[in-house]
Amino acid sequence: MNIIEETHPPPPAKLEPDYLEAGHTVRSWLLTTDHKRIGLLYLFSIIFFFFIAAVAAGIMRLELLTPKGDLVLSETYSKLFTLHGVIMVWFFLIPSIPTVLGNFLIPMMIGARDVAFPKLNLLSWYLFMAGGMFALYAIIAGGVDTGWTFYTPYSSRYSNSHVIEMATGIFLSGFGSILTGLNFIITVHKMRAPGMTWFRLPLFIWSHYATSLILVLATPVLAITLLLMALERIWGIGIFDPRIGGDPVLFQHLFWFYSHPAVYIMVLPSMAVISELIPCFSRKQIFGYKFIAFASLAIAFLGFLVWGHHMFVAGPSVYAGLVFSLLSFLVAIPSAIKVFNWTATLHRGSISFETPMLYALGFIGLFSLGGLTGLFLAALGADVHLTDTYFIIAHFHYIMVGGTVLGFMGGMHFWWPKITGRMYPEKMGQLAALVTFIGFNLTFFPQFILGYLGMPRRYHAYAPEYQVYNVLSTAGASILAVGYILPVIYFIWSLHKGKKAPANPWNATGLEWQTPSPPPVHNFYETPLVVKGPYDYSPEEEERKLEERHG
């Protein structure tokens, strides 16, 4: 660690208890309207769902060790990948960063005491949990075998699994998402501290604002689509099934109008975290603040225009295919702007490699690879060859895991001292970040090759020539599992044995670091006055201090 230890000013006299001490009863947690406590409620919930979905993935990887379907039946396998997809997408990835770190940090970063509608915030969590309970019921009652995409008419007419229960779960949690998005938008508009102009907002806020716009504009379409699917399934009203006058491609249009922007719901918040980590651990102002801020909005907008690339083989018109292909290439531009600006921030910075920074650097590499392989899939001709192969699986796991999960882990390590008031063990953190990076690449890189060679997704048995890549992938998955379990262990350990965290352990800028760790109930003892922009770092100053220290 080569960040200069500042002499920390003595903590201000405690005017009110910190948010963790403010109540110890179950009631004080379940009826809380404190955005920080709600963030923690979400944290426990999504970790629970993450492990359920991860176990399903583990069983799938074990099955794929051998070419024959010898561990589970093909029907069970279908239920496993549906469970993994549904739970990971709607009950982990989409809520992960916005509801945990977003909830905790957005009011603090803009100098507010809470979000605009604290009670609505709690209602969001209850809706999310109600949705989660329906999803759990669907799993326990026997599962769903449609895949997470619920393609009709299989889901609406023919599947004998628990489609309605699972769809109800997603429907309910969707309303939680809409309310969270609405709350964040109004909070950013109305609750900023004096002097916190739009261009003094941290980029974390800009990205979350863009995410919230997508949440509010896209999620209702998913709700309507699932409702229409349920109407057809329960009452046989012909909407998507051609035998009763419906159109199955219409389902795909509506589903992907939500589900493609949903990718940006998952990855924009991760970009939000990275935009905070890179300047802090390079001790440098972010390069191209406005470009990154507007790139977030551009991603949110362009993300709505590209959904047709999921349907190139579903029989859309040649003209529509062409338009969607062109538009899909466009979304690479704002994503590349961000990657280049982060890289330019590193240039001539005073870089140090603490755990959050390791995750951030991992993110840049893996997200770039995931994004670039996305261009293969935006190209019509290549997509026809690669659709429904492991290439797709590898591509979106590079975005979802390499992007969102690494961002989430980086953010959790960075703000863990603020959230809990304790430091995690740094060496263990660095080890876990490396193990995750190695395990991830070993799991998913072979899948690019598998897909290119033509191995289709969603089968529990495969041709023997694919085995070596599948064995590599399963080996990688076991290493990745270690990378996930390690932080859980040392985070819990740090709650009791970790070193007490000062208010600003990373010497970071940003209002959240100007208040004690853990923060008081109302975040600040007095409303902060903002007089300068974010990322007020100076690498020359850091280098000078380092030289002084080392003589």
User: Site residues (CB under 8 A) for other proteins?
Assistant: 189, 213, 217, 221, 249-250, 253-254, 257, 304-305, 307-308, 316-320, 323-324
Residue 235 vs 319, nearer CB to other proteins: 319
Question: Which H or E run contains 341?
Answer: helix 332-346
- C-alpha–C-alpha distance, residues 297 and 334, integer Å: 9
What tokens were used for 545?
Answer: 């201090």
Alpha helices for 380-466 (secondary structure H):
380-386, 390-399, 406-420, 426-453
CB of 264 to other proteins, least distance (A): 14
Nearer to other proteins, 213 or 271 (CB): 213
Q: Which is nearer to other proteins, 197 or 317 (CB)?
A: 317
Q: 166 or 300, CB closer to other proteins?
A: 300
Question: HSE-up of 199 (CA within 13 Å, CB side)?
Answer: 5
- Does the bond joining 425 to the residue before it have cis omega, within 30 degrees of 0? no
The two structure tokens encoding residue 144: 């769903």
Contacts of 244 (CB under 8 A, 6+ apart): 232, 236, 237, 238
Give me the least distance between CB of 377 and other proteins, in Å please.
Answer: 18
Query: Cβ of residue 210: shortest distance to other proteins, in angstroms?
Result: 13
User: How many Å apart are CA 263 and CA 244, to the nearest integer?
Assistant: 33
Q: How far is the CB of 317 from other proteins (least distance, A)?
A: 4
CA distance 325 to 71: 40
Q: Which is nearer to other proteins, 58 or 220 (CB)?
A: 220
Cβ contact 180:99 at 8 Å: yes
Q: How far is the CB of 267 from other proteins (least distance, A)?
A: 20
- To other proteins, the closest distance from the beta carbon of 297 in angstroms equals 12
Q: Output the smallest distance, CB 329 to other proteins, in A.
A: 16
CB closer to other proteins out of 249 and 379: 249
Q: Which is nearer to other proteins, 128 or 307 (CB)?
A: 307
The answer for residues whose C-beta is within 8 angstroms of residue 198's C-beta and 6 or more apart is none
- Please, which residue, 167 or 254, has the CB nearer to other proteins? 254
Minimal distance, residue 247 CB to other proteins, in Å: 9
Residues 6+ apart with CB under 8 A from 529: 193, 194, 195
Structure tokens, 52: 């359920």
Closest CA to 383 of 306, 458, 446: 306
> Torsions phi, psi of 517, nearest 5?
-110, 125
Residue 7 or 317: the one with the smaller Cβ distance to other proteins is 317
DSSP state of 310: G
Which residues does residue 500 pair with via DSSP β-bridges, in sequence order?
A: 422
**253 SS3 class:** helix
How far, in Å, CA of 320 to CA of 28, rounded? Answer: 54
Minimum CB separation of residue 307 from other proteins in Å reads 8
